[in-house]
Amino acid sequence: MESLGTWYSRVKDAAGLLQGHAHVTPVMTSSTLDRLVGADVSLKCENFQRMGAFKFRGAFNAMTRLSEEARRKGVITHSSGNHAQAVALVGRLLGIHTVIVMPDNAPAIKRAATEGYGAEVVEYDPENGDRQEISMRLAEKHGYHLVPPFDHQDIIAGQGTAALELCNQAGSLDVVLCPCGGGGLLSGTAVAVKGSCPKCLVVGVEPDVANDACLSFQTGTLHTIRNPPTIADGTRTPSLGKLTFPMVLEFVDDMKSVSEAAIREAVRFLFYRMKLVVEPSGALGVAALLEGKVKTSGRVGVIVSGGNIDGATMSEILTEH
C-alpha cells in the first residue's frame, strides 16, 4: 500500500482542483451538544455541499481527470443516491453523459435529483441483482467509463478534502469522527487528518446492523453484510473495498457502531437544536457522541456527510417522540 505522504499529496492536489468548484462548507458548533457530550465539538457540514453531500468532491476530482475519449463515451456508476447525484451533477457541468445503476428502494428524493441533473437511471432489485456486476456489464457493452462510488484513488482523495478543510477551519483537534459506508470518505478523512495533525485520532462510525467495517477492522479480515436493514442508506455498501480496507486498517484508529435509535435521535437533535437538515448517514458521528460510544473531553471534529433526506422519512423521524 502507498504511504501516507503519497495519499496526503493526492488530497492536497484534489483540494487545488476543487477550488472554485466545490463549496467550502461551514463548521458549526452547539453549546448544548458540547454540554451533553462533555467535549468541544465542531461539525463539518457537508450537507451544505453542492448536491447536498460530500460526494461532489470525489466525483469532480475523478471525472475532471478523465481523458477526452472517456468523456466522449460517457460514464457509469452504481449508487443508492449521493454518489449518483454527484456523478450526475458533475456530468452536467462537464458535458459528460452519465448512467446510474440505482436500487429500486433508493430514496425517492435522491433518484429525482439524479434524474433532474440529467442522468439516465437503470433500476435494479437489490435482493436479486448485483449493482457492480450490472454496471460492469453495461460499461463493457456501451464503452462507458466506470466511476466507482468509493474504491478509487481519485474518489478517495477528493473526499479527503472535506477533512482537510475542517483541520484548517477548526484548528487543532483531538479526534475526528467520520461516517463509514464503503470507506472512501473515511479513508480520505484519515489521510487528511493524519497529514495535517498527526496526533489527532480518527474514528469511523457505522450502524450496528451494518457493521461490516467494524468487524473487518477488529479482525483484520474483510467482512461483508448485504442489504443491511438500516435507515442510514449511505452505509448499505456490503463491504470495504480493495483500496479502502487496507487504508482503514493502516490510517484509522478505531471503529464504532451505533443503534438505529441513536441515529434517529441524532437527526432529531441536529434538526431541532441546530436547525440542520441531516440525513441518517450524515448523523452517525453525532449519534456516536450522544450514545456515548465515543467519550472524550477534548476537541472533537465530526464530518456531517450529507443532508439528502426525503420529507416522509424526516417527518417519521421527527414525530416519533
Nearest to 232 by CA among 308, 176, 122: 308
Does 55 participate in catalysis according to the annotation?
A: yes
Rounded CA-CA distance 90/283 in Å is 25
User: Measured at the alpha carbon of residue 219, what is the angle toward residues 218 and 220, in degrees to the nearest 5?
Assistant: 105
Rounded CA-CA distance 95/213 in Å is 36
Q: CA torsion sign, 286 to 289 to 294 to 297?
A: positive
Rounded CA-CA distance 111/107 in Å is 7
* C-alpha to C-alpha distances, 310 to 34, 237, 316, nearest whole angstrom: 28, 20, 10
Q: Which of 44, 55, 194, 293 is catalytic?
A: 55
Pairing verdict, β 27-28 and 40-45: antiparallel
Catalytic residues, by residue number, are 55, 305
